[in-house]
Structure 1
Protein backbone atom coordinates (compact mmCIF):
# COMPACT_ATOMS: atom_id res chain seq x y z
CA UNK A 1 0.00 0.00 0.00
CA UNK A 2 2.67 2.51 1.02
CA UNK A 3 5.03 1.95 -1.92
CA UNK A 4 2.41 1.92 -4.68
CA UNK A 5 -0.54 3.97 -3.42
CA UNK A 6 1.31 6.65 -1.46
CA UNK A 7 4.98 6.98 -2.42
CA UNK A 8 4.09 5.90 -5.96
CA UNK A 9 1.88 8.95 -6.27
CA UNK A 10 2.95 12.26 -4.75
CA UNK A 11 3.30 11.64 -1.02
CA UNK A 12 6.93 12.56 -0.35
CA UNK A 13 7.19 13.08 3.41
CA UNK A 14 9.21 10.13 4.73
CA UNK A 15 7.83 10.55 8.25
CA UNK A 16 4.28 10.26 6.94
CA UNK A 17 5.13 7.18 4.87
CA UNK A 18 6.84 5.53 7.83
CA UNK A 19 3.79 6.15 10.00
CA UNK A 20 1.58 4.28 7.54
CA UNK A 21 3.86 1.27 7.95
CA UNK A 22 3.43 1.45 11.74
CA UNK A 23 -0.38 1.73 11.90
CA UNK A 24 -2.38 -1.28 10.60
CA UNK A 25 -5.43 0.07 8.74
CA UNK A 26 -7.20 -3.24 9.30
CA UNK A 27 -7.68 -2.26 12.97
CA UNK A 28 -9.84 0.68 11.90
CA UNK A 29 -12.28 -0.94 9.47
CA UNK A 30 -15.35 -3.06 10.10
CA UNK A 31 -14.60 -6.78 10.21
CA UNK A 32 -16.60 -7.49 7.05
CA UNK A 33 -14.35 -5.09 5.10
CA UNK A 34 -11.01 -6.36 6.46
CA UNK A 35 -10.21 -7.99 3.10
CA UNK A 36 -10.24 -4.48 1.57
CA UNK A 37 -8.33 -2.77 4.38
CA UNK A 38 -5.31 -1.99 2.19
CA UNK A 39 -7.15 -0.95 -0.94
CA UNK A 40 -6.79 2.73 -1.81
CA UNK A 41 -10.48 3.41 -1.36
CA UNK A 42 -12.86 4.67 1.32
CA UNK A 43 -14.81 2.03 3.23
CA UNK A 44 -18.14 2.27 5.08
CA UNK A 45 -17.96 2.36 8.88
CA UNK A 46 -21.70 2.79 9.49
CA UNK A 47 -23.98 5.74 10.24
CA UNK A 48 -23.44 7.14 6.75
CA UNK A 49 -19.72 7.65 7.36
CA UNK A 50 -16.54 6.20 5.86
CA UNK A 51 -12.89 5.68 6.60
CA UNK A 52 -11.08 7.81 4.01
CA UNK A 53 -8.87 6.28 1.34
CA UNK A 54 -5.24 5.95 2.50
CA UNK A 55 -3.97 8.38 -0.13
CA UNK A 56 -6.28 11.13 1.12
CA UNK A 57 -5.30 10.52 4.75
CA UNK A 58 -1.64 10.68 3.73
CA UNK A 59 -2.00 13.90 1.72
CA UNK A 60 -3.97 15.67 4.43
CA UNK A 61 -1.37 14.60 6.99
CA UNK A 62 1.48 15.73 4.76
CA UNK A 63 -0.16 19.12 4.17
CA UNK A 64 -0.69 19.59 7.93
CA UNK A 65 3.10 19.33 8.35
CA UNK A 66 2.83 18.15 11.94
CA UNK A 67 5.65 18.67 14.43
CA UNK A 68 6.39 16.69 17.57
CA UNK A 69 5.10 19.39 19.95
CA UNK A 70 1.93 20.20 17.99
CA UNK A 71 -1.55 19.87 19.47
CA UNK A 72 -3.98 18.83 16.74
CA UNK A 73 -7.75 19.21 16.69
CA UNK A 74 -9.51 16.70 14.44
CA UNK A 75 -13.11 17.33 13.42
CA UNK A 76 -14.73 13.97 12.69
CA UNK A 77 -13.12 10.95 14.37
CA UNK A 78 -14.77 8.34 12.18
CA UNK A 79 -12.99 5.08 12.94
CA UNK A 80 -9.97 6.82 14.45
CA UNK A 81 -7.55 6.13 11.57
CA UNK A 82 -6.62 9.72 10.72
CA UNK A 83 -6.07 10.46 14.41
CA UNK A 84 -3.92 7.33 14.72
CA UNK A 85 -1.68 8.41 11.85
CA UNK A 86 -1.41 11.96 13.21
CA UNK A 87 -0.69 10.75 16.73
CA UNK A 88 2.70 9.41 15.67
CA UNK A 89 3.72 12.82 14.33
CA UNK A 90 2.50 15.25 17.00
CA UNK A 91 2.22 15.60 20.76
CA UNK A 92 -1.55 15.11 21.23
CA UNK A 93 -4.76 14.85 19.22
CA UNK A 94 -8.19 15.99 20.38
CA UNK A 95 -10.72 14.33 18.09
CA UNK A 96 -14.41 15.29 18.07
CA UNK A 97 -17.10 12.93 16.76
CA UNK A 98 -20.83 13.74 16.56
CA UNK A 99 -22.08 10.12 16.45
CA UNK A 100 -21.75 8.46 19.89
CA UNK A 101 -21.38 4.96 18.43
CA UNK A 102 -18.55 6.08 16.15
CA UNK A 103 -16.83 7.89 19.01
CA UNK A 104 -16.81 4.62 20.94
CA UNK A 105 -15.69 2.70 17.83
CA UNK A 106 -12.76 5.09 17.40
CA UNK A 107 -11.77 4.83 21.08
CA UNK A 108 -11.76 1.04 20.91
CA UNK A 109 -9.74 1.00 17.70
CA UNK A 110 -7.15 3.42 19.06
CA UNK A 111 -6.82 1.34 22.21
CA UNK A 112 -6.29 -1.82 20.12
CA UNK A 113 -3.56 0.02 18.23
CA UNK A 114 -1.84 0.97 21.49
CA UNK A 115 -2.29 4.70 20.96
CA UNK A 116 -2.55 6.78 24.13
CA UNK A 117 -2.10 10.38 22.95
CA UNK A 118 -5.55 10.77 21.36
CA UNK A 119 -8.68 11.81 23.22
CA UNK A 120 -11.95 11.15 21.40
CA UNK A 121 -14.74 13.47 22.51
CA UNK A 122 -18.39 13.02 21.52
CA UNK A 123 -19.75 16.40 20.46
CA UNK A 124 -20.38 18.85 17.64
CA UNK A 125 -17.00 19.38 16.04
CA UNK A 126 -18.41 21.79 13.46
CA UNK A 127 -18.03 24.51 16.11
CA UNK A 128 -14.63 23.23 17.20
CA UNK A 129 -13.59 22.41 20.74
CA UNK A 130 -13.09 25.62 22.67
CA UNK A 131 -12.21 23.84 25.92
CA UNK A 132 -8.63 23.03 24.87
CA UNK A 133 -8.02 25.82 22.34
CA UNK A 134 -5.91 27.23 20.82
CA UNK A 135 -4.57 24.46 18.59
CA UNK A 136 -1.44 24.32 16.45
CA UNK A 137 -3.24 22.54 13.62
CA UNK A 138 -6.84 21.61 12.78
CA UNK A 139 -8.02 18.96 10.32
CA UNK A 140 -11.60 18.48 9.15
CA UNK A 141 -12.20 14.95 7.87
CA UNK A 142 -15.63 15.51 6.28
CA UNK A 143 -16.90 17.96 3.67
CA UNK A 144 -17.67 21.46 4.87
CA UNK A 145 -19.23 24.15 2.69
CA UNK A 146 -17.08 26.80 4.32
CA UNK A 147 -14.65 26.49 7.23
CA UNK A 148 -16.49 27.98 10.26
CA UNK A 149 -15.14 31.19 11.77
CA UNK A 150 -15.10 29.48 15.18
CA UNK A 151 -12.25 27.27 14.01
CA UNK A 152 -10.08 30.20 13.00
CA UNK A 153 -10.64 31.67 16.47
CA UNK A 154 -9.41 28.38 17.98
CA UNK A 155 -6.26 28.24 15.81
CA UNK A 156 -2.90 29.53 17.01
CA UNK A 157 -1.14 32.18 14.98
CA UNK A 158 1.25 30.33 12.68
CA UNK A 159 -1.06 27.33 12.54
CA UNK A 160 -3.16 25.88 9.73
CA UNK A 161 -6.50 24.26 8.97
CA UNK A 162 -6.76 21.51 6.34
CA UNK A 163 -10.22 20.62 5.05
CA UNK A 164 -12.30 19.42 2.08
CA UNK A 165 -14.26 22.61 1.41
CA UNK A 166 -17.06 23.23 -1.05
CA UNK A 167 -20.54 22.09 -2.15
CA UNK A 168 -22.04 18.84 -0.94
CA UNK A 169 -20.98 16.60 -3.82
CA UNK A 170 -17.64 18.06 -4.88
CA UNK A 171 -15.02 19.83 -2.81
CA UNK A 172 -11.46 21.09 -2.97
CA UNK A 173 -8.80 20.15 -0.48
CA UNK A 174 -7.65 23.44 1.01
CA UNK A 175 -5.23 24.75 3.61
CA UNK A 176 -5.77 27.95 5.55
CA UNK A 177 -2.72 29.40 7.29
CA UNK A 178 -3.00 31.98 10.05
CA UNK A 179 -0.06 34.35 9.63
CA UNK A 180 0.14 37.42 11.86
CA UNK A 181 -3.59 36.90 12.42
CA UNK A 182 -4.25 37.14 8.68
CA UNK A 183 -5.70 34.13 6.84
CA UNK A 184 -3.99 32.82 3.69
CA UNK A 185 -5.72 30.14 1.59
CA UNK A 186 -4.09 27.52 -0.62
CA UNK A 187 -6.05 25.14 -2.87
CA UNK A 188 -4.67 21.67 -3.66
CA UNK A 189 -7.03 19.45 -5.70
CA UNK A 190 -10.61 18.30 -6.09
CA UNK A 191 -12.05 15.65 -3.79
CA UNK A 192 -15.32 14.18 -2.54
CA UNK A 193 -15.99 13.54 1.17
CA UNK A 194 -19.09 12.62 3.12
CA UNK A 195 -20.77 15.75 4.54
CA UNK A 196 -19.93 17.09 7.98
CA UNK A 197 -22.93 17.18 10.30
CA UNK A 198 -23.63 19.59 13.12
CA UNK A 199 -24.54 23.22 13.66
CA UNK A 200 -22.08 24.51 11.04
CA UNK A 201 -22.19 21.44 8.82
CA UNK A 202 -24.50 20.38 6.01
CA UNK A 203 -28.19 20.09 6.80
CA UNK A 204 -30.18 16.96 6.05
Structure 2
Protein backbone atom coordinates (compact mmCIF):
# COMPACT_ATOMS: atom_id res chain seq x y z
CA UNK A 1 0.00 0.00 0.00
CA UNK A 2 1.36 3.42 -0.90
CA UNK A 3 1.99 5.78 2.02
CA UNK A 4 -0.52 8.61 2.33
CA UNK A 5 0.87 11.72 3.97
CA UNK A 6 -0.56 14.60 1.93
CA UNK A 7 -2.78 14.53 -1.14
CA UNK A 8 -3.93 17.37 -3.40
CA UNK A 9 -6.61 16.77 -5.99
CA UNK A 10 -9.75 18.04 -7.67
CA UNK A 11 -13.13 17.12 -6.25
CA UNK A 12 -16.18 15.02 -7.08
CA UNK A 13 -19.21 16.66 -5.46
CA UNK A 14 -21.80 14.05 -4.47
CA UNK A 15 -24.09 15.80 -2.03
CA UNK A 16 -26.64 13.00 -1.72
CA UNK A 17 -27.26 11.90 1.86
CA UNK A 18 -27.47 8.33 3.16
CA UNK A 19 -25.51 6.79 0.28
CA UNK A 20 -25.17 3.16 1.33
CA UNK A 21 -22.63 0.58 0.22
CA UNK A 22 -25.08 -1.02 -2.23
CA UNK A 23 -25.29 2.31 -4.04
CA UNK A 24 -21.51 2.68 -3.96
CA UNK A 25 -21.13 -0.77 -5.55
CA UNK A 26 -24.15 -2.96 -6.40
CA UNK A 27 -24.12 -6.42 -4.81
CA UNK A 28 -23.80 -8.26 -8.14
CA UNK A 29 -20.25 -6.89 -8.47
CA UNK A 30 -19.15 -8.24 -5.08
CA UNK A 31 -18.65 -11.90 -5.94
CA UNK A 32 -14.88 -11.72 -6.26
CA UNK A 33 -12.48 -11.64 -3.30
CA UNK A 34 -9.74 -9.83 -5.20
CA UNK A 35 -9.11 -6.24 -4.12
CA UNK A 36 -8.92 -4.71 -7.61
CA UNK A 37 -10.99 -4.50 -10.75
CA UNK A 38 -14.06 -2.62 -9.48
CA UNK A 39 -13.67 0.86 -11.01
CA UNK A 40 -16.35 0.27 -13.65
CA UNK A 41 -18.81 -0.89 -10.97
CA UNK A 42 -18.48 2.23 -8.81
CA UNK A 43 -21.95 3.81 -8.45
CA UNK A 44 -23.03 1.34 -11.13
CA UNK A 45 -26.76 2.13 -10.98
CA UNK A 46 -26.30 5.89 -11.09
CA UNK A 47 -23.73 5.87 -13.88
CA UNK A 48 -26.48 4.88 -16.30
CA UNK A 49 -27.36 8.59 -16.18
CA UNK A 50 -25.01 10.45 -18.59
CA UNK A 51 -25.22 13.54 -16.36
CA UNK A 52 -24.08 11.72 -13.22
CA UNK A 53 -21.01 13.41 -11.77
CA UNK A 54 -18.63 10.49 -12.48
CA UNK A 55 -19.60 10.61 -16.16
CA UNK A 56 -18.89 14.31 -16.62
CA UNK A 57 -15.75 14.92 -18.75
CA UNK A 58 -14.66 17.83 -16.56
CA UNK A 59 -14.63 15.57 -13.48
CA UNK A 60 -12.32 12.91 -14.87
CA UNK A 61 -9.18 12.55 -12.80
CA UNK A 62 -10.79 13.86 -9.62
CA UNK A 63 -9.39 12.11 -6.57
CA UNK A 64 -11.29 13.60 -3.60
CA UNK A 65 -14.94 12.66 -3.11
CA UNK A 66 -17.11 15.19 -1.30
CA UNK A 67 -20.08 13.26 0.04
CA UNK A 68 -23.31 14.00 1.82
CA UNK A 69 -23.99 12.95 5.43
CA UNK A 70 -24.19 9.29 6.45
CA UNK A 71 -21.98 8.13 3.59
CA UNK A 72 -21.20 4.40 3.43
CA UNK A 73 -24.00 3.09 5.64
CA UNK A 74 -25.52 -0.34 5.09
CA UNK A 75 -23.66 -3.61 4.62
CA UNK A 76 -20.03 -3.99 5.59
CA UNK A 77 -18.67 -4.90 2.14
CA UNK A 78 -15.05 -3.84 1.62
CA UNK A 79 -15.75 -3.83 -2.12
CA UNK A 80 -17.20 -0.32 -1.68
CA UNK A 81 -13.80 0.99 -0.63
CA UNK A 82 -11.96 -1.08 -3.26
CA UNK A 83 -14.18 0.43 -5.98
CA UNK A 84 -13.52 3.98 -4.80
CA UNK A 85 -9.79 3.31 -4.64
CA UNK A 86 -9.76 1.67 -8.09
CA UNK A 87 -11.48 4.71 -9.59
CA UNK A 88 -8.71 6.89 -8.14
CA UNK A 89 -10.29 8.26 -4.95
CA UNK A 90 -7.67 8.86 -2.25
CA UNK A 91 -9.90 10.68 0.24
CA UNK A 92 -13.61 10.92 1.04
CA UNK A 93 -14.88 13.93 2.98
CA UNK A 94 -18.30 13.88 4.62
CA UNK A 95 -20.15 15.16 7.67
CA UNK A 96 -20.65 11.57 8.87
CA UNK A 97 -19.92 8.00 7.79
CA UNK A 98 -21.12 4.51 8.38
CA UNK A 99 -18.78 3.23 11.10
CA UNK A 100 -17.74 0.05 9.28
CA UNK A 101 -17.21 1.88 5.98
CA UNK A 102 -14.95 4.41 7.69
CA UNK A 103 -12.85 1.66 9.27
CA UNK A 104 -12.66 -0.24 5.98
CA UNK A 105 -11.58 2.90 4.15
CA UNK A 106 -8.75 3.64 6.57
CA UNK A 107 -7.56 0.02 6.40
CA UNK A 108 -7.49 0.07 2.60
CA UNK A 109 -5.63 3.29 1.86
CA UNK A 110 -8.58 5.67 1.47
CA UNK A 111 -8.67 8.51 3.99
CA UNK A 112 -12.20 9.07 5.32
CA UNK A 113 -12.35 12.58 6.81
CA UNK A 114 -15.27 13.80 8.90
CA UNK A 115 -15.92 17.56 8.81
CA UNK A 116 -18.73 19.72 10.23
CA UNK A 117 -21.95 20.04 8.22
CA UNK A 118 -21.42 23.70 7.45
CA UNK A 119 -17.90 23.05 6.16
CA UNK A 120 -19.12 20.25 3.91
CA UNK A 121 -21.96 22.43 2.60
CA UNK A 122 -19.43 25.12 1.65
CA UNK A 123 -17.03 22.66 0.00
CA UNK A 124 -19.82 20.95 -1.95
CA UNK A 125 -21.09 24.32 -3.17
CA UNK A 126 -17.66 25.47 -4.32
CA UNK A 127 -16.80 22.19 -6.01
CA UNK A 128 -20.21 22.07 -7.69
CA UNK A 129 -19.66 25.49 -9.23
CA UNK A 130 -16.01 25.00 -10.17
CA UNK A 131 -14.70 21.67 -11.53
CA UNK A 132 -11.13 22.94 -11.12
CA UNK A 133 -11.59 23.46 -7.37
CA UNK A 134 -8.87 21.54 -5.52
CA UNK A 135 -8.25 20.57 -1.92
CA UNK A 136 -5.23 19.35 -0.01
CA UNK A 137 -5.85 16.65 2.56
CA UNK A 138 -2.85 16.61 4.88
CA UNK A 139 -2.77 13.54 7.11
CA UNK A 140 0.50 14.59 8.74
CA UNK A 141 -0.95 17.89 9.96
CA UNK A 142 -4.51 16.49 10.16
CA UNK A 143 -6.06 19.33 8.22
CA UNK A 144 -7.87 20.02 4.96
CA UNK A 145 -6.69 23.09 3.08
CA UNK A 146 -7.94 25.21 0.22
CA UNK A 147 -6.20 28.51 -0.21
CA UNK A 148 -6.07 30.22 3.18
CA UNK A 149 -8.69 27.98 4.80
CA UNK A 150 -7.40 25.27 7.12
CA UNK A 151 -9.89 22.84 8.59
CA UNK A 152 -8.64 20.37 11.24
CA UNK A 153 -9.91 16.82 11.46
CA UNK A 154 -9.48 13.86 13.79
CA UNK A 155 -8.48 10.34 12.77
CA UNK A 156 -7.84 7.15 14.69
CA UNK A 157 -4.20 7.21 15.82
CA UNK A 158 -3.34 3.66 14.75
CA UNK A 159 -5.04 4.04 11.37
CA UNK A 160 -3.17 7.31 10.84
CA UNK A 161 0.17 5.66 11.58
CA UNK A 162 -0.51 2.80 9.17
CA UNK A 163 -1.58 5.17 6.38
CA UNK A 164 1.48 7.37 6.88
CA UNK A 165 3.71 4.29 6.70
CA UNK A 166 1.79 2.67 3.84
CA UNK A 167 1.07 -0.50 5.82
CA UNK A 168 -1.96 -2.70 6.36
CA UNK A 169 -2.65 -5.09 9.24
CA UNK A 170 -1.12 -8.07 7.42
CA UNK A 171 2.08 -6.20 6.64
CA UNK A 172 2.34 -5.15 10.29
CA UNK A 173 2.01 -8.80 11.35
CA UNK A 174 4.62 -9.92 8.82
CA UNK A 175 7.07 -7.38 10.21
CA UNK A 176 6.79 -9.21 13.52
CA UNK A 177 7.28 -12.65 11.99
CA UNK A 178 10.51 -13.38 13.89
CA UNK A 179 8.96 -12.41 17.24
CA UNK A 180 5.87 -14.49 16.47
CA UNK A 181 8.05 -17.50 15.60
CA UNK A 182 10.06 -17.13 18.83
CA UNK A 183 6.83 -16.96 20.81
CA UNK A 184 5.43 -20.08 19.13
CA UNK A 185 8.65 -22.01 19.78
CA UNK A 186 8.55 -21.08 23.47
CA UNK A 187 5.03 -22.41 23.99
CA UNK A 188 4.67 -25.76 25.83
CA UNK A 189 4.45 -28.66 23.40
CA UNK A 190 1.02 -29.71 24.70
CA UNK A 191 -0.57 -26.43 23.58
CA UNK A 192 -2.26 -26.19 20.13
CA UNK A 193 0.01 -25.12 17.28
CA UNK A 194 -0.60 -23.65 13.84
CA UNK A 195 -0.96 -26.08 10.97
CA UNK A 196 2.18 -27.23 9.17
CA UNK A 197 0.48 -26.01 6.02
CA UNK A 198 1.12 -22.48 7.24
CA UNK A 199 4.85 -23.06 7.27
CA UNK A 200 5.24 -24.00 10.94
CA UNK A 201 6.73 -27.33 12.07
Task: Give the TM-score range, shorter chain.
Answer: under 0.3
TM-score of the superposed pair, with normalisation by structure 2: 0.27
Structure 1 or 2, whichever has the larger Rg, is: 2
TM-score of the superposed pair, with normalisation by structure 1: 0.26
Structure with the bigger percentage of strand: 1
